[in-house]
Amino acid sequence: MVDWTEKYRPSTLSEVRGNNKARDALAEWAKTWDDHREAVVVHGSPGIGKTSAAHALAADMGWETVELNASDQRTGDVIERFAGRAAKNATLAGSSAGTSTRQLVILDEADNIHGNYDRGGASAVTRLVKSSSQPIVLIANEFYDMSRGLRNACQEIEFRDVSARSIVPVLRDICRKEGLEFESDALDRIAEMNSGDLRSAVNDLQAIAEGREKITEEDVVMGDRDRSVGLFEFLDAVLKEESAQDALYTAYDVDETPDDLTKWVEDKVSLVYEPDELARAYDFLANADRWLGRVRATQNYSYWRYATDNLAAGVAASRDRTRGGWTRYGGAPYRSTRDKTRDTVVRKIAQNGGFSMATARREALPYLSAITHHCKPRELTVAMAAYYEFDESHVSFVTGSGETTNKVQSIVEDAGELREELVEEHAAGAFAGMEGVSVDDDAAADDGGDGTDDVLDRDADTDADESAESDDSDAATDDGQSGLDDFF
Ligand SMILES: Nc1ncnc2c1ncn2[C@@H]1O[C@H](COP(=O)(O)OP(=O)(O)OP(=O)(O)O)[C@@H](O)[C@H]1O
């Protein structure tokens, strides 16, 4: 089975749908590049055609492309070498063809260059952008996560979410090319379910089309989604019984993250599949792994969806037939240190936050990771570590800070002190009067009771009066914190 998002990737800019203005701006940027020599940053949500547009642009202009992906080690050194190579390649290509050929440099996840890599990476990219002899397209989800220096050095083009109205014609074209009959309502439905994200709409279409000659609206409607499914039922669904689409829906109903599901499938697939099926299934599992890697690097949990598409729909579509009977799946797959750390983190969140394990794993952890990404804001990270009793490995894990760093060490130390203070104050019956923990760096010294009471005490009812009073005294800080209050 070929992945339709690859098979139908736009090969020219005119095939990039739903972002006409951005598309025209990109074409204009390329045509006038010799005059301005500026890099461009294309930014917007996942799955809306940013990377495709960059490649399509190169094809339209007759330019070659070189890519530096997030999975490459993006240290200062690597980027300098890469820049040198890009310039040289272009010269060679140009001289052998007797013309001057351009090489379009495409650098994805430009909002996450420092990710797990060294600090030199970000400034090397800024230098590259400023001095490059070749056109550069940076791709980012969040423009404002890029450093100011980098933002200022680039022209900016925003890609908007692709509306359901623009998604439908793409799906219709694919159906026609695949010789697949369809009810218009079915395509409308897929487009609405995936409004904004064209990649996941195409993935859904493919999952639903698997094994069918015609798709109806009824095929698309998900049915009863309000159930929870055990791991063995899930494995049977994917490896033996269900269509790609049903396997995908079953995967949504398991209380495990795509990381765990991928491991389970990887571990058990060979008990069921024949060699041919297995080879195909491993390709999908490798894709799932790639998406999980991107989640780890960027903390962008919307990529989880694509991992699930691959590990469930992809693996189910890799088999030639369904199977019955009972399979001895055996125990849990091998668990790495990282997995064990995650389990401890989830347990601590569940215990200290009063969540179920499933909610802690699937909702609280991603949320905490997002709001404390790379330990910023620091005060919030300290409060989190104090509240959930995290040690250094836990804080590194949650914040995506890679190896334990001095920064993490000092956060855990401060969290220890904060806990001690709280315990003392609690013992003295002065819980409501605790020192504020501020989101705003500059306001760190402020003594605003900024909602931290709620962070650290779910039953803060008795403190309501005091909280209300101090809330007034520091409304700005409270705004920053209010998401956290709601959450806890
Ligand atoms: N605007 C679009 N027009 C046509 N096809 C699209 C469009 N957006 C997405 N697709 C389909 O989705 C796939 C993924 O798109 P692409 O990788 O370009 O998205 P992206 O915005 O770069 O996402 P990410 O930020 O996750 O890399 C494409 O191969 C194509 O099949």
User: What is the end-to-end Cα distance of the chain in Å, rounded?
Assistant: 44
| Pocket perturbation via mutation, ligand 1, pick of 12, 19, 45, 51 by most ligand atoms within 8 A of CB | 51
Question: What per-residue confidence (pLDDT) applies to 485?
Answer: 37
Same-domain status, 180 and 322: no
Total domain count, the chain: 4
Q: Read off the amino acid at residue 422.
A: L
Same-domain status, 424 and 281: no
Rounded to whole angstroms, how far apart are CA atoms 178 and 201? 16
Around Cβ 279, how many Cβ atoms within 10 Å? 11
From residue 37, give the alpha-carbon distance in Å to each of 130, 248, 359: 9, 46, 49
Beta-ladder partners of 42: 139, 157
Q: What's the 50 CA to ligand 1 centre distance in angstroms?
A: 6
Question: What per-residue confidence (pLDDT) applies to 93?
Answer: 52
Around Cβ 469, how many Cβ atoms within 10 Å? 11
- Answer whether residue 304 is part of any domain: yes
CATH number of 169's domain: 1.10.8.60
Rounded to whole angstroms, how far apart are CA atoms 54 and 174? 21
Place of tokens 């798709």: 215
Question: What per-residue confidence (pLDDT) applies to 445?
Answer: 37
Tokens standing for 204? 């859904």
Residue 421 gets which letter from DSSP?
A: H
Same-domain status, 215 and 100: no
Same-domain status, 365 and 476: yes
From residue 335, give the alpha-carbon distance in Å to each of 339, 341, 384, 394: 6, 10, 26, 17
Q: Which domain holds residue 32?
A: 4-158
Same-domain status, 342 and 478: yes
Same-domain status, 22 and 132: yes
**Burial class of residue 87 (count of CB atoms within 10 Å of its CB; 0-12, 13-18, 19+):** middle
| Pocket perturbation via mutation, ligand 1, pick of 9, 287, 301, 302 by most ligand atoms within 8 A of CB | 9
Question: What per-residue confidence (pLDDT) applies to 291?
Answer: 92
Same-domain status, 167 and 148: no
From residue 423, give the alpha-carbon distance in Å to each of 184, 395, 432, 436, 439: 62, 21, 12, 15, 22
Output the known binding site for ATP: 44-51
From 109, 128, 158, give the residue that closes a domain. 158
The alpha-helical segments, DSSP class H, found in 119-197 are 120-131, 148-152, 164-178, 184-193
Beta-ladder partners of 137: 40, 106
Q: What are phi and psi of 152, to 5 degrees?
A: -70, -25
Same-domain status, 380 and 442: yes
Question: What per-residue confidence (pLDDT) applies to 98?
Answer: 45
Question: What per-residue confidence (pLDDT) applies to 425?
Answer: 72
CATH number of 150's domain: 3.40.50.300
- Answer whether residue 246 is part of any domain: no
Task: Give 231-294 as a DSSP string.
Answer: HHHHHHIIIII--HHHHHHHHHTBSS-HHHHHHHHHHHGGGT--HHHHHHHHHHHHHHHHHHHH
Q: What's the 5 CA to ligand 1 centre distance in angstroms?
A: 8
Q: What's the 430 CA to ligand 1 centre distance in angstroms?
A: 55
Q: Please work out whether the CB of residue 202 comes within 6 Å of at least one atom of ligand 1.
A: yes
Per-residue pLDDT of the chain (488 residues; tens, 9 = 90+): 688 999 999 999 999 999 999 999 999 999 999 999 999 999 998 899 999 999 999 999 999 888 877 556 566 666 667 666 665 555 555 445 445 578 898 988 888 776 444 556 677 788 888 888 889 999 998 888 888 888 999 999 999 999 989 999 999 999 999 999 999 999 998 998 887 889 989 988 988 888 889 998 888 875 334 456 788 889 999 999 999 999 999 998 887 889 989 999 998 998 999 988 998 999 999 999 999 988 888 878 889 999 999 999 999 999 999 998 888 887 777 767 777 888 889 888 988 888 777 778 878 888 898 888 888 899 999 999 999 999 999 999 898 876 667 889 999 999 999 988 887 776 665 434 434 444 343 333 333 333 333 333 333 333 333 333 333 333 333 333 333 333 33
Same-domain status, 465 and 388: yes
55 Cα nearest atom in ligand 1: 18
Q: Please work out whether the CB of residue 48 comes within 6 Å of at least one atom of ligand 1.
A: yes
Secondary element (H or E) of residue 182: strand 181-182
Q: What's the 262 CA to ligand 1 centre distance in angstroms?
A: 23
Question: What per-residue confidence (pLDDT) applies to 134?
Answer: 87
Same-domain status, 9 and 145: yes
Minimal CA–CA distance to 173: which of 194, 191, 147? 191
Please state the ipTM of this predicted complex: 0.96
Ligand 1 atom 26 nearest Cα? 46
Place of tokens 């914040």: 399
From 334, 362, 388, give the residue that closes a domain. 334
Same-domain status, 38 and 152: yes
Rounded to whole angstroms, how far apart are CA atoms 187 and 219? 11
Q: What's the 53 CA to ligand 1 centre distance in angstroms?
A: 8
- Segment 125-168, tens digit of pLDDT: 888 888 888 899 999 988 888 888 889 999 999 999 999 899 99
Ligand 1 atom 30 nearest Cα? 9
Q: Please work out whether the CB of residue 449 comes within 6 Å of at least one atom of ligand 1.
A: no
